[in-house]
Amino acid sequence: MNSQATVVCCANPLGGFLRFFDDIPDPRGCNAIHKFTDILVLAFCGVMCGSQGWVDVEMFGNTKLAWFKTFLSLPAGIPSHDTFGRVFSVIDPDAFERCFLAWMSSVVKLGGGKLIAIDGKSIRQSFEHGWDKSGMTHLVSAFVAANRMVFSQVAVKDKENEIVAIPKLLELLDLAGSVVSIDAIGCQRNIAQQIVRGQGDYLLAVKENQPTLHNQVSKLLDELILESKSTPDKAIAHGFVQTVDGDHGRIETRKLWVTDQVQLIQLPEPWPGLGSIAVVESTREINGQSSSQRRYYISSIKGTDAPAMLQYIRSHWSVENNLHWQLDVSFREDEKRIRIGHAAENFSRLCRMTLNRLKADKTTKASIRTKRLRAAWDDYYLFKLLTT
């Protein structure tokens, strides 16, 4: 055993960030033979060190049984994989989420113009029966772009229910002074109103699911683009910025126009706090072949600061790389066959806890994959992740 680990293992593992999870109600009866806190610590450590399911967690615990006994009770040894599965299938996900949010609030401070990107992701193997995939778990997450961390998440049964989950997720967050970005599915008046009421700003993608809004916004912005190129002195007041990125034979040019002349949009019902509209025109050149597309946005942000608007939009796109990609590649989330009860949602929350904790650790400059390997190999490093 690592001698450093022996020295520190007299500490309480729930004295670190796991103290925020000490209030999760134990869903079991009074005849349980395993301590609930032991199960939480074992599951977290197992996922931290690469476990892909409950069988892996059980094996990991048995492999390090002597080490775990230095700071956990373990009156009946390591629980079986069936026990882990049963317990996490009945843990109240809302209570688990409240603890997760309390921890994140101590780590990441919102406000100050920070972007909260809200986006959904399906766990593709979480359906209970192969002939009925409609029940797969779909998670809607709030991602703080500046810290590259998941701040909160809510589960729904399918992508269409994101509209129901987003308001619930927003209720959990302190939105004051933050900018909330959501894809077109969240472009709803009630959602915009909720963000404004929470003293935040919204940035919402506009697509054909809001036909009247999309028609009005796209018409005005397309005319703005045309006039700014042909007769700039006649164009309405606006801001403009252009960026060019090139890598591996691909050149991508992004142009953004933003205007605060929102009174020119004729809608049957005004949008709450509408302050500006924007369009991004992206042109890609790959091996001499060129393609382009335009994306439209509405926002409560007032003014025509084009560079800031483009930065918010690009930061929202980073959710795919900094969250979904890491969960799929580093944690193999889409391959997990955990289905019963709340187990899929709660296991996913363990993955997000692990991802956030590893990102918060600045003592090791390495990839998430390498940090997980070090945690599995180095007892001292793993215990430090638990207790600080």
- Tell the burial category of 246 from Cβ atoms under 10 Å away from its Cβ (0-12, 13-18, 19+): exposed
CA–CA dist 87, 343 (Å, integer): 8
The confidence score (pLDDT) of residue 256 equals 97
Q: Which of these ranges, 1-10, 156-165, 298-307, 363-372, has the smallest mean pLDDT?
A: 1-10
- Compute the average pLDDT of residues 182-201: 95
Which pLDDT tens digit goes with each residue over 201-211? 999 999 998 99
Q: Strand 179-182 and strand 115-122: pairing? A: parallel
Cβ–Cβ under 8 Å, residues 145 and 315: yes
Report the residue count for the chain: 388
The confidence score (pLDDT) of residue 355 equals 87
Identify which of 194, 205, 217 has the alpha carbon closest to the alpha carbon of residue 267: 217
Q: What is the 3-state secondary structure (H, E, C) of 228-244?
A: HHHCHHHCCCCEEEEEE
The confidence score (pLDDT) of residue 125 equals 47
Entry pTM: 0.82
- Compute the average pLDDT of residues 185-208: 95
Ramachandran category for residue 139: left, alpha or beta (phi over 0 → left; psi -120 to 50 → alpha)? beta
Q: Which of these ranges, 77-91, 145-159, 328-342, has the smallest mean pLDDT?
A: 328-342
- Compute the average pLDDT of residues 352-359: 88
**How many degrees, rounded to 5, is the angle at CA 274 between CA 269 and CA 276?**
130
Cβ–Cβ under 8 Å, residues 37 and 374: no
The confidence score (pLDDT) of residue 5 equals 45
The confidence score (pLDDT) of residue 242 equals 96
**Most confidently modeled range among 132-146, 159-173, 368-382:** 368-382
Which sign, positive or negative, has the C-alpha torsion 301, 306, 312, 316?
A: positive
For helices 343-360 and 36-48, angle between their N-to-C axes, nearest 10 degrees: 60
| Whether residue 296 has pLDDT greater than 90 | yes
Which pLDDT tens digit goes with each residue over 125-144? 444 444 344 456 677 888 88
- Which domains, from first to last, does the chain contain? 3-92+344-387 (no CATH), 101-205 (3.30.420.10), 211-304 (no CATH)
Q: Which of these ranges, 106-120, 159-173, 264-278, 330-344, has the smallest mean pLDDT?
A: 330-344
Q: What percent of the chain has pLDDT over 90?
A: 50
Identify which of 88, 102, 75 has the alpha carbon closest to the alpha carbon of residue 47: 88
For helices 368-377 and 36-48, angle between their N-to-C axes, nearest 10 degrees: 120
- Compute the average pLDDT of residues 375-382: 95
CA–CA dist 97, 103 (Å, integer): 10
- Compute the average pLDDT of residues 171-193: 93
Residue with tokens 């520190």: 8
| Whether residue 221 has pLDDT greater than 60 | yes
Instruction: Give residue 103's pLDDT band: very low, low, confident or very high (50, 70, 90).
Output: confident
**How many degrees, rounded to 5, is the angle at CA 336 between CA 334 and CA 337?**
125
Q: Which of these ranges, 93-102, 268-277, 292-301, 317-326, has the smallest mean pLDDT?
A: 317-326
Q: Which of these ranges, 4-13, 54-63, 251-260, 344-353, has the smallest mean pLDDT?
A: 4-13
For residue 321, count other CB atoms closer than 10 A to its CB. 10
DSSP assignment string, 124-179: TT--SBTTBGGG--EEEEEEETTTTEEEEEEEESSGGGHHHHHHHHHHHS--TT-E
The confidence score (pLDDT) of residue 141 equals 84
Instruction: Give residue 359's pLDDT band: very low, low, confident or very high (50, 70, 90).
Output: confident
